[in-house]
Amino acid sequence: MTISKLTIIALSAIIITACGSSKKSSTPTAAAPSLVPGDAQLTAIKAKFPDATAEQLKEGYAIYTGACTNCHGQKNIFKRSEASWMHEIDDMSPKANLTSVQKDALTKYILSMKAAQATDAK
């Protein structure tokens, strides 16, 4: 008796959990390339900046999706050349009141996304 009751409780828990997670995974963002920096981005940026860390990329991502969207929408990282981004970062960092440490993290983050994409394309 106790065992079958437990089985029913366990099964209901599994069903409830499964329904909950299927709702979450149906958000319509699948087509956009991920902007979250990971191992591929860290490996790619280390070719250019051997001292780059995962923490810097995470900080850059937070700035890019935070302070950098205060005045306008999120700009497309992949539509701009590296040289053009260096120019924009110089231009925009004072607008976003970034410290030199934050600007460095943002630069590494943006270039890491582009570098990892270039590696993917090969």
Contact residues for ligand HEC, defined by CB under 6 A: 67-68, 70-72, 75, 88, 92-93, 95-96, 98, 106
The gap from C-alpha 58 to its chain's centroid, in whole angstroms, comes to 7
CB of 36 to ligand HEC, least distance (A): 17
The gap from C-alpha 62 to its chain's centroid, in whole angstroms, comes to 8
**Torsion angle in degrees (nearest 10) through CA of 12, 13, 15, 20:** 140
CB of 96 to ligand HEC, least distance (A): 4
CA-wise closest residue to 88 among 68, 102, 71, 70: 68
Rank residues 44 and 103 by Cβ distance to ligand HEC and give the closer one. Answer: 103
Rank residues 42 and 67 by Cβ distance to ligand HEC and give the closer one. Answer: 67
Question: CA-CA distance, 2 to 53, in Å (whole number)?
Answer: 53
CB of 49 to ligand HEC, least distance (A): 18
Output Rg (C-alpha) for the chain, integer angstroms. Answer: 21
Rank residues 21 and 65 by Cβ distance to ligand HEC and give the closer one. Answer: 65
Rank residues 57 and 92 by Cβ distance to ligand HEC and give the closer one. Answer: 92
